[in-house]
Structure 1
Amino acid sequence: MDLMPKTKNTAQHTDVPMSLEKRLQLFMQEVSGRALVMMENSCQGQQDVAMDLVQEAFIALHQNYPDKPTDEWYPLFYTILNNKLLDWRRKEARRSQRFGWLRLNPLSDEDEELDIPDQNQVEPSDAIDQELTTDEILNAVQALPVRQQQAFMLRAWEGFDTATTAKIMDCSEGSVKTHYHRAIQSLKMTLAHLNSND
Protein backbone atom coordinates (compact mmCIF):
# COMPACT_ATOMS: atom_id res chain seq x y z
CA MET A 1 0.00 0.00 0.00
CA ASP A 2 1.51 3.30 -1.07
CA LEU A 3 0.66 5.54 1.88
CA MET A 4 3.84 7.49 1.14
CA PRO A 5 3.82 8.38 -2.55
CA LYS A 6 6.91 9.17 -4.59
CA THR A 7 10.43 8.85 -3.18
CA LYS A 8 10.72 10.16 0.32
CA ASN A 9 13.73 12.05 1.67
CA THR A 10 11.95 13.32 4.77
CA ALA A 11 12.71 10.54 7.21
CA GLN A 12 16.33 9.72 6.51
CA HIS A 13 17.16 6.68 8.59
CA THR A 14 19.38 8.07 11.30
CA ASP A 15 19.91 7.45 14.97
CA VAL A 16 19.64 11.15 15.76
CA PRO A 17 16.03 12.12 16.49
CA MET A 18 14.80 15.19 14.61
CA SER A 19 12.94 18.04 16.22
CA LEU A 20 9.31 18.57 15.24
CA GLU A 21 10.24 21.79 13.45
CA LYS A 22 12.94 20.03 11.40
CA ARG A 23 10.59 17.16 10.52
CA LEU A 24 7.90 19.61 9.44
CA GLN A 25 10.39 21.66 7.42
CA LEU A 26 11.62 18.58 5.54
CA PHE A 27 8.04 17.38 5.01
CA MET A 28 7.01 20.79 3.64
CA GLN A 29 9.97 20.83 1.24
CA GLU A 30 8.95 17.38 0.04
CA VAL A 31 5.26 17.94 -0.68
CA SER A 32 4.66 21.67 -1.11
CA GLY A 33 5.46 21.82 -4.85
CA ARG A 34 3.10 19.01 -5.82
CA ALA A 35 0.42 20.22 -3.41
CA LEU A 36 0.57 23.72 -4.92
CA VAL A 37 0.12 22.36 -8.44
CA MET A 38 -2.90 20.35 -7.28
CA MET A 39 -4.48 23.34 -5.57
CA GLU A 40 -3.81 25.73 -8.47
CA ASN A 41 -5.70 23.32 -10.72
CA SER A 42 -8.56 23.03 -8.26
CA CYS A 43 -8.74 26.81 -7.76
CA GLN A 44 -8.80 27.63 -11.49
CA GLY A 45 -5.23 28.93 -11.46
CA GLN A 46 -5.60 31.29 -8.49
CA GLN A 47 -2.06 31.00 -7.12
CA ASP A 48 -2.67 33.12 -4.01
CA VAL A 49 -5.62 30.99 -2.97
CA ALA A 50 -3.66 27.79 -3.66
CA MET A 51 -0.74 29.00 -1.54
CA ASP A 52 -3.09 29.97 1.30
CA LEU A 53 -4.78 26.56 1.27
CA VAL A 54 -1.48 24.69 1.32
CA GLN A 55 -0.13 26.90 4.10
CA GLU A 56 -3.31 26.47 6.17
CA ALA A 57 -3.06 22.69 5.73
CA PHE A 58 0.55 22.69 6.97
CA ILE A 59 -0.44 24.79 9.99
CA ALA A 60 -3.35 22.47 10.82
CA LEU A 61 -1.10 19.43 10.46
CA HIS A 62 1.46 20.99 12.80
CA GLN A 63 -1.17 21.99 15.36
CA ASN A 64 -3.23 18.80 15.37
CA TYR A 65 -0.80 15.96 14.58
CA PRO A 66 2.66 16.89 15.90
CA ASP A 67 3.19 13.50 17.55
CA LYS A 68 2.30 11.40 14.51
CA PRO A 69 5.17 9.68 12.66
CA THR A 70 6.24 11.47 9.49
CA ASP A 71 4.98 8.56 7.36
CA GLU A 72 1.44 9.16 8.65
CA TRP A 73 1.59 12.85 7.78
CA TYR A 74 1.15 12.20 4.03
CA PRO A 75 -2.49 11.01 4.01
CA LEU A 76 -3.32 13.33 6.93
CA PHE A 77 -1.95 16.36 5.09
CA TYR A 78 -3.91 15.62 1.93
CA THR A 79 -7.08 14.98 3.94
CA ILE A 80 -6.71 18.38 5.60
CA LEU A 81 -5.91 20.01 2.26
CA ASN A 82 -8.93 18.39 0.63
CA ASN A 83 -11.20 19.68 3.42
CA LYS A 84 -9.76 23.19 3.11
CA LEU A 85 -10.34 23.12 -0.65
CA LEU A 86 -13.95 22.02 -0.22
CA ASP A 87 -14.54 24.76 2.38
CA TRP A 88 -13.09 27.35 0.00
CA ARG A 89 -15.22 26.11 -2.90
CA ARG A 90 -18.38 26.23 -0.76
CA LYS A 91 -17.63 29.83 0.19
CA GLU A 92 -16.98 30.71 -3.44
CA ALA A 93 -20.20 29.00 -4.55
CA ARG A 94 -22.21 30.92 -1.94
CA ARG A 95 -20.55 34.18 -2.91
CA SER A 96 -21.32 33.71 -6.60
CA GLN A 97 -24.80 32.21 -6.20
CA ARG A 98 -26.47 35.38 -7.42
CA PHE A 99 -24.40 35.10 -10.61
CA GLY A 100 -25.57 31.71 -11.88
CA TRP A 101 -23.62 31.99 -15.10
CA LEU A 102 -20.37 32.32 -13.10
CA ARG A 103 -20.97 29.24 -11.00
CA LEU A 104 -18.00 26.94 -10.34
CA ASN A 105 -17.93 23.24 -11.14
CA PRO A 106 -20.41 21.43 -8.87
CA LEU A 107 -18.96 20.15 -5.60
CA SER A 108 -20.30 16.63 -6.03
CA ASP A 109 -20.34 16.03 -9.76
CA GLU A 110 -21.34 12.40 -9.48
CA ASP A 111 -21.94 10.35 -6.39
CA GLU A 112 -23.24 7.17 -7.93
CA GLU A 113 -20.73 4.37 -8.12
CA LEU A 114 -19.83 2.42 -11.21
CA ASP A 115 -18.46 -1.09 -10.98
CA ILE A 116 -15.05 -0.29 -12.46
CA PRO A 117 -11.92 -2.35 -11.79
CA ASP A 118 -9.19 -0.51 -9.91
CA GLN A 119 -6.64 1.00 -12.28
CA ASN A 120 -3.90 0.86 -9.66
CA GLN A 121 -0.94 0.91 -12.03
CA VAL A 122 -2.26 3.33 -14.64
CA GLU A 123 0.25 6.06 -15.45
CA PRO A 124 -1.11 9.32 -16.84
CA SER A 125 0.99 8.94 -19.98
CA ASP A 126 -0.33 5.41 -20.55
CA ALA A 127 -3.94 6.41 -19.89
CA ILE A 128 -3.77 9.30 -22.32
CA ASP A 129 -1.51 7.27 -24.61
CA GLN A 130 0.69 10.11 -25.80
CA GLU A 131 3.33 12.62 -24.89
CA LEU A 132 1.85 15.92 -23.82
CA THR A 133 3.29 19.10 -22.47
CA THR A 134 2.75 19.91 -18.82
CA ASP A 135 0.62 22.93 -19.71
CA GLU A 136 -1.71 20.86 -21.88
CA ILE A 137 -2.19 18.28 -19.15
CA LEU A 138 -2.77 20.90 -16.45
CA ASN A 139 -5.28 22.79 -18.60
CA ALA A 140 -7.18 19.59 -19.30
CA VAL A 141 -7.15 18.56 -15.62
CA GLN A 142 -8.26 22.05 -14.60
CA ALA A 143 -11.36 21.68 -16.79
CA LEU A 144 -12.47 18.53 -14.91
CA PRO A 145 -15.11 18.70 -12.17
CA VAL A 146 -13.48 19.10 -8.77
CA ARG A 147 -14.03 15.53 -7.51
CA GLN A 148 -12.56 14.12 -10.73
CA GLN A 149 -9.60 16.50 -10.36
CA GLN A 150 -9.02 15.31 -6.82
CA ALA A 151 -9.22 11.63 -7.69
CA PHE A 152 -6.95 12.04 -10.71
CA MET A 153 -4.34 14.17 -8.93
CA LEU A 154 -4.24 12.01 -5.80
CA ARG A 155 -4.03 8.75 -7.76
CA ALA A 156 -1.94 9.70 -10.81
CA TRP A 157 0.04 12.68 -9.54
CA GLU A 158 0.62 11.73 -5.90
CA GLY A 159 0.53 7.97 -6.39
CA PHE A 160 -1.88 7.16 -3.56
CA ASP A 161 -3.77 3.88 -3.81
CA THR A 162 -7.57 3.73 -4.01
CA ALA A 163 -8.12 3.08 -0.30
CA THR A 164 -5.94 6.00 0.82
CA THR A 165 -7.49 8.30 -1.78
CA ALA A 166 -10.95 7.36 -0.51
CA LYS A 167 -9.95 8.30 3.05
CA ILE A 168 -8.50 11.61 1.89
CA MET A 169 -11.59 12.45 -0.19
CA ASP A 170 -13.96 11.13 2.51
CA CYS A 171 -15.84 8.87 0.14
CA SER A 172 -16.03 5.19 -0.77
CA GLU A 173 -13.42 3.37 -2.83
CA GLY A 174 -16.09 2.83 -5.47
CA SER A 175 -16.59 6.59 -5.76
CA VAL A 176 -12.84 7.10 -6.15
CA LYS A 177 -12.77 4.54 -8.95
CA THR A 178 -15.74 6.24 -10.61
CA HIS A 179 -14.25 9.74 -10.37
CA TYR A 180 -10.85 8.52 -11.54
CA HIS A 181 -12.30 6.52 -14.43
CA ARG A 182 -14.40 9.47 -15.59
CA ALA A 183 -11.40 11.79 -15.30
CA ILE A 184 -9.31 9.47 -17.49
CA GLN A 185 -12.13 9.17 -20.04
CA SER A 186 -12.63 12.94 -20.12
CA LEU A 187 -8.90 13.56 -20.53
CA LYS A 188 -8.74 11.05 -23.36
CA MET A 189 -11.58 12.84 -25.15
CA THR A 190 -10.24 16.34 -24.46
CA LEU A 191 -6.76 15.46 -25.62
CA ALA A 192 -7.72 13.07 -28.44
CA HIS A 193 -6.62 15.53 -31.13
CA LEU A 194 -3.06 15.18 -29.84
CA ASN A 195 -3.13 11.42 -30.35
CA SER A 196 -3.07 11.67 -34.13
CA ASN A 197 -0.26 9.79 -35.88
CA ASP A 198 -0.74 11.76 -39.08
Structure 2
Amino acid sequence: MSTANVQQLDAFLASVERRAFRMAQIATRDRDEALDLVQDAMLQLSRKYAGRPPEEWPALFYRILENRIRDWQRRQTVKNRLFFWRPSVQDEEQDEDPVEQVAEPGPGPQETLQRVEQMRRLEQALRDLPTRQREAFELRLWEGLSVEDTARAMGCSDGSVKTHLHRALAALRQDLEGVWP
Protein backbone atom coordinates (compact mmCIF):
# COMPACT_ATOMS: atom_id res chain seq x y z
CA MET A 1 0.00 0.00 0.00
CA SER A 2 1.44 3.37 -1.00
CA THR A 3 2.11 6.20 1.43
CA ALA A 4 -0.52 8.35 -0.29
CA ASN A 5 -3.11 5.59 0.08
CA VAL A 6 -2.23 5.17 3.78
CA GLN A 7 -2.70 8.92 4.28
CA GLN A 8 -6.05 8.80 2.46
CA LEU A 9 -7.20 5.92 4.64
CA ASP A 10 -6.07 7.72 7.81
CA ALA A 11 -7.93 10.85 6.72
CA PHE A 12 -11.07 8.84 5.96
CA LEU A 13 -10.99 7.06 9.31
CA ALA A 14 -10.42 10.34 11.15
CA SER A 15 -13.39 11.88 9.33
CA VAL A 16 -15.82 9.12 10.36
CA GLU A 17 -14.62 8.18 13.84
CA ARG A 18 -16.82 10.54 15.89
CA ARG A 19 -20.04 9.81 14.03
CA ALA A 20 -19.31 6.10 13.99
CA PHE A 21 -18.67 6.18 17.72
CA ARG A 22 -21.94 8.01 18.31
CA MET A 23 -23.82 5.46 16.20
CA ALA A 24 -22.26 2.58 18.13
CA GLN A 25 -22.88 4.27 21.46
CA ILE A 26 -26.57 4.76 20.69
CA ALA A 27 -26.88 1.12 19.65
CA THR A 28 -24.97 -0.32 22.62
CA ARG A 29 -25.59 2.28 25.33
CA ASP A 30 -22.06 1.52 26.48
CA ARG A 31 -19.14 3.86 25.79
CA ASP A 32 -16.43 1.20 26.07
CA GLU A 33 -18.26 -1.32 23.90
CA ALA A 34 -18.90 1.39 21.32
CA LEU A 35 -15.19 2.27 21.21
CA ASP A 36 -14.29 -1.39 20.75
CA LEU A 37 -16.80 -1.86 17.94
CA VAL A 38 -15.60 1.21 16.04
CA GLN A 39 -11.98 0.21 16.49
CA ASP A 40 -12.70 -3.31 15.23
CA ALA A 41 -14.52 -1.94 12.19
CA MET A 42 -11.64 0.41 11.42
CA LEU A 43 -9.09 -2.39 11.74
CA GLN A 44 -11.05 -4.70 9.46
CA LEU A 45 -11.44 -1.96 6.84
CA SER A 46 -7.70 -1.24 7.03
CA ARG A 47 -6.68 -4.88 6.80
CA LYS A 48 -9.07 -6.16 4.18
CA TYR A 49 -10.20 -3.22 2.08
CA ALA A 50 -7.45 -0.59 2.16
CA GLY A 51 -6.52 -1.50 -1.41
CA ARG A 52 -10.01 -0.69 -2.66
CA PRO A 53 -10.77 2.71 -4.21
CA PRO A 54 -11.40 5.39 -1.55
CA GLU A 55 -14.94 6.06 -2.81
CA GLU A 56 -15.89 2.51 -1.74
CA TRP A 57 -14.65 2.94 1.84
CA PRO A 58 -17.74 4.66 3.37
CA ALA A 59 -20.15 1.89 2.34
CA LEU A 60 -17.68 -0.82 3.32
CA PHE A 61 -16.89 0.78 6.67
CA TYR A 62 -20.50 1.25 7.68
CA ARG A 63 -21.40 -2.25 6.57
CA ILE A 64 -18.61 -3.59 8.77
CA LEU A 65 -19.66 -1.38 11.69
CA GLU A 66 -23.34 -2.34 11.45
CA ASN A 67 -22.38 -6.02 11.30
CA ARG A 68 -20.21 -5.57 14.41
CA ILE A 69 -23.09 -3.85 16.20
CA ARG A 70 -25.52 -6.60 15.20
CA ASP A 71 -23.10 -9.29 16.39
CA TRP A 72 -22.68 -7.46 19.70
CA GLN A 73 -26.46 -7.19 20.13
CA ARG A 74 -26.86 -10.92 19.45
CA ARG A 75 -24.19 -11.76 22.02
CA GLN A 76 -25.90 -9.48 24.54
CA THR A 77 -29.22 -11.21 23.96
CA VAL A 78 -27.67 -14.60 24.62
CA LYS A 79 -25.73 -13.28 27.61
CA ASN A 80 -28.88 -11.71 29.09
CA ARG A 81 -30.73 -14.99 28.74
CA LEU A 82 -27.96 -16.93 30.42
CA PHE A 83 -27.09 -14.36 33.09
CA PHE A 84 -30.48 -12.80 33.71
CA TRP A 85 -29.68 -12.00 37.36
CA ARG A 86 -26.84 -9.59 36.45
CA PRO A 87 -27.59 -5.87 36.17
CA SER A 88 -28.23 -4.56 32.67
CA VAL A 89 -26.20 -1.89 30.93
CA GLN A 90 -28.94 0.64 31.73
CA ASP A 91 -28.64 -0.15 35.46
CA GLU A 92 -24.88 0.27 35.25
CA GLU A 93 -25.25 3.66 33.53
CA GLN A 94 -26.74 5.04 36.72
CA ASP A 95 -23.49 4.25 38.55
CA GLU A 96 -21.46 6.57 36.31
CA ASP A 97 -19.13 9.17 37.77
CA PRO A 98 -21.24 12.22 38.70
CA VAL A 99 -18.46 14.58 37.56
CA GLU A 100 -18.89 13.27 33.99
CA GLN A 101 -22.60 14.09 34.12
CA VAL A 102 -22.09 17.78 34.95
CA ALA A 103 -23.10 20.03 32.07
CA GLU A 104 -20.29 21.94 30.39
CA PRO A 105 -20.22 25.73 30.69
CA GLY A 106 -21.99 27.57 27.92
CA PRO A 107 -25.56 28.68 27.58
CA GLY A 108 -27.69 29.35 30.64
CA PRO A 109 -28.97 26.54 32.82
CA GLN A 110 -32.45 26.59 31.27
CA GLU A 111 -31.08 26.28 27.70
CA THR A 112 -28.61 23.61 28.77
CA LEU A 113 -31.32 21.60 30.45
CA GLN A 114 -33.54 21.92 27.38
CA ARG A 115 -30.74 20.75 25.06
CA VAL A 116 -29.86 17.82 27.30
CA GLU A 117 -33.50 16.76 27.38
CA GLN A 118 -33.82 17.16 23.61
CA MET A 119 -30.77 14.98 22.99
CA ARG A 120 -31.95 12.39 25.51
CA ARG A 121 -35.30 12.23 23.74
CA LEU A 122 -33.62 11.96 20.32
CA GLU A 123 -31.31 9.16 21.49
CA GLN A 124 -34.24 7.31 23.01
CA ALA A 125 -36.29 7.74 19.85
CA LEU A 126 -33.38 6.38 17.80
CA ARG A 127 -33.03 3.41 20.15
CA ASP A 128 -36.74 2.71 19.81
CA LEU A 129 -36.51 2.48 16.02
CA PRO A 130 -36.24 -0.97 14.47
CA THR A 131 -32.62 -1.78 13.63
CA ARG A 132 -32.92 -1.41 9.86
CA GLN A 133 -34.71 1.94 10.16
CA ARG A 134 -32.05 3.23 12.57
CA GLU A 135 -29.29 2.08 10.21
CA ALA A 136 -30.91 3.78 7.22
CA PHE A 137 -31.38 7.01 9.20
CA GLU A 138 -27.82 7.08 10.50
CA LEU A 139 -26.15 6.20 7.21
CA ARG A 140 -28.23 8.47 4.98
CA LEU A 141 -28.71 11.51 7.20
CA TRP A 142 -25.84 11.49 9.67
CA GLU A 143 -23.21 10.12 7.34
CA GLY A 144 -24.61 11.56 4.14
CA LEU A 145 -24.13 8.36 2.15
CA SER A 146 -25.98 8.07 -1.15
CA VAL A 147 -28.92 5.70 -1.43
CA GLU A 148 -26.72 3.30 -3.40
CA ASP A 149 -23.89 3.35 -0.84
CA THR A 150 -26.36 2.97 2.01
CA ALA A 151 -27.93 -0.01 0.24
CA ARG A 152 -24.49 -1.57 -0.18
CA ALA A 153 -23.65 -0.94 3.48
CA MET A 154 -26.95 -2.41 4.66
CA GLY A 155 -26.97 -5.28 2.17
CA CYS A 156 -30.36 -4.44 0.69
CA SER A 157 -31.93 -2.74 -2.33
CA ASP A 158 -32.16 1.00 -2.96
CA GLY A 159 -35.94 0.80 -2.54
CA SER A 160 -35.56 -0.83 0.87
CA VAL A 161 -33.28 1.98 2.01
CA LYS A 162 -35.86 4.56 0.95
CA THR A 163 -38.65 2.64 2.69
CA HIS A 164 -36.68 2.21 5.92
CA LEU A 165 -35.67 5.88 5.92
CA HIS A 166 -39.23 7.06 5.26
CA ARG A 167 -40.56 4.94 8.12
CA ALA A 168 -37.77 6.07 10.44
CA LEU A 169 -38.45 9.73 9.71
CA ALA A 170 -42.19 9.26 10.23
CA ALA A 171 -41.61 7.52 13.57
CA LEU A 172 -39.09 10.15 14.70
CA ARG A 173 -41.43 12.99 13.75
CA GLN A 174 -44.19 11.40 15.78
CA ASP A 175 -41.96 10.58 18.78
CA LEU A 176 -40.26 13.98 18.82
CA GLU A 177 -43.27 16.16 18.11
CA GLY A 178 -42.97 19.30 20.20
CA VAL A 179 -39.41 18.58 21.37
CA TRP A 180 -37.82 21.22 19.13
CA PRO A 181 -39.40 24.66 18.63
Q: Indicate which of 140, 143, 149 corresponds to 1:164.
A: 149
Q: Structure 2 stretches of 5 or more lacking a match?
A: 89-114
Q: Indicate which of 74, 79, 83 corresponds to 1:90.
A: 74
Report the aligned-residue RMSD.
2.6
Q: Structure 1 stretches of 5 or more lacking a match?
A: 1-16, 104-130
Closer/same/farther in 2, CA of residues 73 and 135 from structure 1, 3 Å limit: same
Tell whether the 8 Å contact from 2:21 to 2:35 is kept in structure 1 after alignment: yes
Q: Tell me how far apart the structure 2 counterparts of residues 170 and 194 of structure 1 sit (CA, whole Å).
A: 33
Give the alignment's TM-score, normalised by structure 1. 0.66
The farther-off stretch of 167-176 and 27-36 is: 167-176
Closer/same/farther in 2, CA of residues 72 and 46 from structure 1, 3 Å limit: same
Q: Tell me how far apart the structure 2 counterparts of residues 70 and 174 of structure 1 sit (CA, whole Å).
A: 25
* Structure 2 residue identity aligned to 1:83: N
Give the alignment's TM-score, normalised by structure 2. 0.72
Offset of residue 163 of structure 1? 2.1
Closer/same/farther in 2, CA of residues 95 and 177 from structure 1, 3 Å limit: same
Offset of residue 150 of structure 1? 0.6
Residue 92 of structure 2 corresponds to none
Residue 25 of structure 1 corresponds to 10
The count of corresponding residues between Structure 1 and Structure 2 is 150
Offset of residue 19 of structure 1? 4.1
Residue 177 of structure 1 corresponds to 162
Matched, 1:38 2:23: yes
Tell whether the 8 Å contact from 1:41 to 1:141 is kept in structure 2 after alignment: yes
Tell whether the 8 Å contact from 2:24 to 2:34 is kept in structure 1 after alignment: yes
Residue 108 of structure 2 corresponds to none
1:11-70 CA distance string (max 9 Å, x none): xxxxxx734443332222111011111111111x21111111110011111111121122
Q: Tell me how far apart the structure 1 counterparts of residues 49 and 56 of structure 2 sit (CA, whole Å).
A: 9
1:115-166 CA distance string (max 9 Å, x none): xxxxxxxxxxxxxxxx994444233212222221111111111112222211
Structure with the bigger percentage of helix: 2
Residue 63 of structure 1 corresponds to 47
Tell whether the 8 Å contact from 1:151 to 1:180 is kept in structure 2 after alignment: yes
Larger relative contact order (Cα-Cα within 8 Å, sequence gap ≥ 6): 1
Identity within the alignment, %: 37
